[in-house]
Chains A and B, each alone.
Chain A
Amino acid sequence: DTGVSQDPRHKITKRGQNVTFRCDPISEHNRLYWYRQTLGQGPEFLTYFQNEAQLEKSRLLSDRFSAERPKGSFSTLEIQRTEQGDSAMYLCASSSYRVNTEAFFGQGTRLTVV
């Protein structure tokens, strides 16, 4: 297993465009998380899936953001009508269903909105 995989690693887009990121979790993990990290700050939680169900969403996840995990495997995070303030690193993490367990993070997708 190669760990949590995110694609693309870097994305530059013009303001107003839509972007979509993909996350492939560790294969046996049924929990998947999205975080956002801006320069100099720690990651901020965005949303959480257990299998295909989206169980929690942060207030940071505005209506321009949508996340899906249609078959309980990979997940996508879409940002519509991007703004310069959306420029950040978007991180995905996954964990197993077991309690007391750790989450493993991917390398992130760095988004730059110009």
Chain B
Amino acid sequence: DAKTTQPPSMDCAEGRAANLPCNHSTISGNEYVYWYRQIHSQGPQYIIHGLKNNETNEMASLIITEDRKSSTLILPHATLRDTAVYYCIVSHNYGQNFVFGPGTRLSVLP
């Protein structure tokens, strides 16, 4: 079973920030938080990952709480092309036999 809990769906207005939450209360010390997204009929696309510090790249920011039991993926200016299913995964740092949950279906609305 997946070790994460995400809301099944969210809406976001185009141009606004999309904040996608993830709970991972049983995360262990050597497990990273990974985020992927999947646009319809395509393979999952890597977004970002982190251990305990906040991370930012050209796609998104990842905010991890101090106790590491939850995190938030932030898309700063959502566009229609960001409509996708977003998966939050926790995994140890030496292999990617990820356990995917159902993810959050983000709909960016015009």
The chain A residues found within 8 Å of chain B, CB to CB, are: 4, 31, 33, 40-45, 48, 56, 58, 91, 93, 95, 99-100, 102-108, 110
Contact = CB atoms under 8 A, between A and B. Distances in A.
A42 B4 CA distance: 13
7 contacts: A42-B100, A44-B100, A56-B95, A91-B43, A99-B93, A100-B49, A102-B96
B100 A31 contact: no
Chain B contact surface mostly: loop
Contacts of A41: 102
Contacts of A31: 95-96
A4 to B, nearest CB: 8
A103 B46 CA distance: 7
B87 A42 contact: yes
Interface in B6-47: 32, 34, 36, 41-46
A100 B93 CA distance: 5
Contacts of B36: 105
Nearest to B32: A100
A99 B41 CA distance: 29
A108 B41 CA distance: 9
Contacts of B103: 42
B80 interface: no
A58 B98 CA distance: 11
B95 A102 contact: no
A106 B96 contact: no
A110 B41 CA distance: 9
Contacts of A58: 97
Most chain-A Cβ atoms within 10 A of its Cβ — which of B32, B41, B51, B95? B95
Contacts of B34: 102
A105 B95 contact: no
Contact of A42 (B32, B96, B101): B101
A43 B99 CA distance: 8
B99 A102 contact: no
B97 to A, nearest CB: 5
A104 B46 contact: yes
